[in-house]
Chains A and B, each alone.
Chain A
């Protein structure tokens, strides 16, 4: 009889601890959202390298919330400690009001520890190291005026900031939401962890979703703001850039930006370090590691833990809906401002600049540049804008890091 009672108690205990008893309806909705993201990542191939880890992190945390649980310490008396653990050896003690308590630690969940890389701002700069090692700044060096388009596309960040303020967000939260308009995932995550960590899940998912939707969001804006004649402009071939210029570029950028905007130094510094590894030609092994193994490992850690912040209680709120709407506004404003500045350059240069390259000023490398190429080629099949659009595109990466520095400096 005693054996049967113990058996039934064990069954009841297991049932009470199972997800059937501990999960609420919001967790089940988030599990469904994760499955939709799986579909988008696998079937539609929307940013699968990021969306897949994010979706899996989301799935796991909603199935087993303790995977993100923080470590705790319980203070136990000697009797309690012996009853629970069978011994008092090895436990540190704390004396409170003359009574000795044993500190019994409860370790945190797996994702809690991996998430420290996000929380402490370690992963985004490491991703930037890999991005720098993969980026060719040649088109930007050949045509430095591209920086104007990279700056123009950041205006969306600050306009969205205003929208977020008027929708009731705090100024720090509004800054974190606005940075979605930079179309740069690591920068968005970096700024959000510093300004509004409670919104990280919603902002990261909005940022990466919109980056994946660049080919759908941008072309109608580009066509609406340009004439057929402007879209058909063929640009002159870029001048060749010497190796020495490419080596000096990251050094100059990191010195100037770190002195003027120290808050942007971790992002820009790692981006330029990665680029110097590539361009110097003397550290091939390090460059390849930064581009491949390191980048892939950090992407897995970053994606899963960012996804793990999207618990039902955090994600299913009006704030998320507002963030998704504001993120779209940020993206559209950034693209529109880039194209409008492209039109200004078109006028000022007497028709030598194709305004379509302006939309590539939102980062989203190289997708935004490919969209410029595609829309330009629809108008004129002999038009090759890709390399011209890569200039504003990589300028947008630097521009969004500068904008992030401004937001952190002013709002933190």
Chain B
């Protein structure tokens, strides 16, 4: 191969490789984005329909007056020095994990005592990348 042949083959391979790899992967980005949208929309609509159905079923039932009960644990939380914001964050985290379909109840939130040096070392060892 002389220098011109080498230049030709190098340029054509660079151009072909670059173009095809990017074209294929851009096409995949579009496809994944598209089907992601379709599935998310479909699942959102299904969830909405389910919620509406439940609401309409509730509306059909006679409404009973239920006396409002104050959660006896709320003052306990305040006493233990946990602010409402922290309670809200923990509730939101639990909700995002389990959703509304699961019957999950937060009964108490306690501040844990600080970990021992051995526990900290164990956690550090298991979570450190190298």
Contacts and interface: CB of A to CB of B under 8 A. Distances in A.
Nearest to A249: B32
A248 B14 contact: no
Give the interface centre of A144, A256, A386 by most chain B CB atoms within 10 Å: A144
A228 B33 CA distance: 32
Given A242-B39, A252-B35, A406 B16 contact: yes
A158 B14 contact: yes
B51 interface: no
A357 interface: no
B23 to A, nearest CB: 8
Contacts of A242: 39-40, 43
Interface stretch (B5-13, B52-60, B73-81, B102-110): B5-13
B90 interface: no
A399 interface: yes
Which of B9, B17, B31, B35 has the most chain A CB atoms closer than 10 A to its own CB? B17
Q: Number of contact residues on A: which range applies?
A: 35 or more
Contacts, number: 100
A370 B17 contact: no
A350 B130 CA distance: 31
B18 A158 contact: yes
B13 A150 contact: no
Interface in A378-412: 386, 395, 398-399, 402-403, 406-407, 410
Contacts of B92: none
Given A147-B29, A157-B17, A403-B17, A256 B24 contact: yes
Interface of A: 140-141, 144-145, 147-148, 150-151, 154-155, 157-159, 161-162, 165-166, 171, 175, 215, 242, 244-245, 248-249, 252-253, 256-257, 260-261, 370-371, 373-374, 377, 386, 395, 398-399, 402-403, 406-407, 410
- Which 10 A-B residue pairings sit nearest by Cβ, starting from the closest? A162-B10, A144-B32, A158-B17, A147-B25, A151-B25, A144-B29, A370-B129, A374-B129, A158-B14, A147-B29
